[in-house]
A = this chain, B = another copy of it.
Amino acid sequence: MPKIVDRDEYRRELLDKCLSLFSKIGYGNVTIREIARELEVSTGTLYHYFPTKKSILESLLEHVSVQGISKYKSIINGSKDVKVKIELLSNYLLENEEYFKNVILLAVDLFRNSPAWKVDGAFTKISLQYRSLISEELQLSEEISKSFFIFLVGLVFHRILTPDHISYKTQVSMMRDLMLNVAVI
């Protein structure tokens, strides 16, 4: 049993270090050897922990999304006032652009390199979590929560492709204002 725990813990460590490599270079353009070099292990070792290259990708999105949600929860968690929550969400978004970019980029890599149902599964899970958090915490309807999430996805995606032509800060502010408008009493 302790062995098992170590194994999983080590897997997570390896995944953490993969993230930047994958989002910078892209799954399809990284070789196993590059991954191994970055993680400072041999390719053989890598294959002890992951059966295939693809499995690294798939584990990674799972791993990353779990991290993000819990971070978000811990931020929103305390407060009760909706206005405050919206403010906290806005700040959370502003401070974690990089993280969102990584998730989107991973989703893209997964989309291009895994069967559709796996992508759908993984991304639906993430999408659902965020959307239900929004709708529950901010008291917004299902459909409107979706809209906000969609906007967020579009914003990050656009920023990835052309970072200089969209102001992340401005757009997040606009979203926050709209939320305040729609959410209140």
Residues on A facing B (Cβ under 8 Å): 2, 26, 28-29, 44, 107-109, 111-113, 119-120, 123-124, 127-128, 143-144, 146-147, 149-155, 157-158, 160-166, 170-171, 174-175
Contact = CB atoms under 8 A, between A and B. Distances in A.
B164 A155 contact: no
Contact of A146 (B107, B112, B171): B171
A112 B160 CA distance: 11
A112 B29 contact: yes
Count chain B CB atoms within 10 A of each CB in A128, A146, A161 and give the residue with the most.
A161
A120 B112 CA distance: 20
B123 A112 contact: no
A174 B143 contact: yes
Given A112-B112, A143-B174, A171-B146, A153 B164 contact: no
A36 B178 CA distance: 50
